[in-house]
Chain A
Amino acid sequence: MPEVWDDEELLAALGEALAERQAVPPEFVQAAKNAFAWHNIDAELAQLTYDSSRDADLEPSTRAETASIRALTFTSAHVTIELEVTQDSLLGQIVPPQPATITVQPREATETTVSADEIGRFSIRPIPAGQFRLHCRTAINADALTGWFTL
């Protein structure tokens, strides 16, 4: 067997291991544990792939006209959810366009449901306060849930 750690090395490594865990904020660990609630949801994750407030020039040609409006895009394998934040509402577009049921899931309040029309448009009014996510079930076959986000 190759060299074995002596007591000093073992103790130093233990110190490092315990310090590494202490460096992780408890909220980070708790959020990870909470993610297990996802396991019985038959939806795929729609990830934030665009946020105009963080990503000013990702799509300059298509976004120029609405530069002052915050826009976000969530993408899953089967469906994309585009959102625009207006003064008093949240306007959405399902891509590819199709009817859908959108459930707004605020962390601290009860869910509400809106429908997307036959060309995939929907609006949520008022804008949800605090952290929330959207669960989008389309009439065809997509079932996507966004990560938590705040506007």
Chain B
Amino acid sequence: MGDDSSVSALVARVCDGDQGAWDELIDRYSPLVWSICQRFQLSRQDIDDVGQSVWLLLVENIGSLREAAALPGWLATTTRREALRVLRVTQRHDHADLPPDGQMPVDPGSATIEEDLIVAERNAALRAAFAELQQACHDLLSLLVADPPLTYADISARLNIPVGSIGPTRGRCLGQLRRSPHLAGIIGDDAPHANVRGGRR
């Protein structure tokens, strides 16, 4: 099984009843479902409701997905549809309490979902690549993206490494990350720079 961690391989293993592969898919894509629910401004209870429906529908339908690589798109579409179902139920309740126009949770629309999907797939690929880095790189990059940011002096003290080595190690680790097969075609090609939200620098 060469490309064992590809979405297609995971889906195939899930269809064979492999709970580990399912867990891996969930680790990879639950942030996608979660973030779409957040866009709809659902309550926590409603998000749990949507999540339950999405995952059960996935279990039911995963064997009939024509193309396993389409899974992220299927998840995004299903999450959006389930979120709208829940909104239909909750928004009919207490009309009097509806917020003024402009604050209403609305369907963010398929264009936004497309953006979410691109970002979520890229984020999942980044996490997969990050998980496979050497421990030293894992530790250093974790601290470099810490929020609130840490100074090089803080990082030096925490990792017990010279301040002067942080810059070069950072470059080497990002090089490793960049070369990960998980990121092939994702961060170099047509990655939408405008969608990089939350850049810290």
| Interface positions of A (Cβ within 8 A of B) | 1-5, 7-21, 23-24, 28-29, 31-33, 35-36, 38-40, 44-45, 47-51, 54-58, 147-148
**Is chain A's interface secondary structure helix, strand, loop, or mixed overall?**
helix
Q: A124–B133 Cα gap in the complex (Å)?
A: 54
What is the chain A residue whose CB lies nearest that of B56? Answer: A45
User: Which residues of the partner chain A approach B60 to less than 8 Å between Cβ atoms?
Assistant: 38, 44-45
Whether A36 and B141, one on each chain, are in contact in the complex, defined by CB atoms closer than 8 angstroms, is no
Interface flags for B109-126 (1: CB within 8 Å of A; 0: not) read 000000000011011101
- Asked if B77 is at the interface (CB within 8 A of a chain A CB), the reply is no
CB-CB < 8 A to A35: which residues of B? 52, 55-56, 58-59
A47 touches B53 (CB 8 A): yes
Chain B contacts for A4, CB-based, 8 A = 187-188
Q: How far is the CA of A20 from the CA of B196 in the complex (A)?
A: 12
The 10 closest A-B pairs by CB, nearest first: A15-B145, A12-B199, A35-B55, A17-B123, A17-B126, A36-B22, A38-B59, A32-B26, A4-B188, A24-B34
Distance from A108 Cβ to chain B, minimum over Cβ atoms (Å): 17
Cβ proximity bits B40-56 to A, threshold 8 Å, 1 near / 0 not? 00000001110111011
Interface string of B7-20 (1 = CB under 8 A from A): 00000001001010
A42 to B127: give the CA distance in the assembly, Å.
34
| Interchain CB contact (< 8 A) of B53 among A24, A39, A147 | A147
Tell whether, in the assembled complex, residue A18 and residue B145 are in contact, meaning their CB atoms are under 8 Å apart. yes
Residues of A with C-beta under 8 A to B27: 29
Once A7-B170, A17-B127, A19-B147 are accepted as A-B contacts, the answer to whether A12 and B59 lie under 8 Å apart by CB is: no
Question: Does B177 have its Cβ within 8 Å of any Cβ on chain A?
Answer: yes
| Interface check B189, CB cutoff 8 A | yes
Among residues of B, the one whose C-beta sits closest to the C-beta of A38 is B59
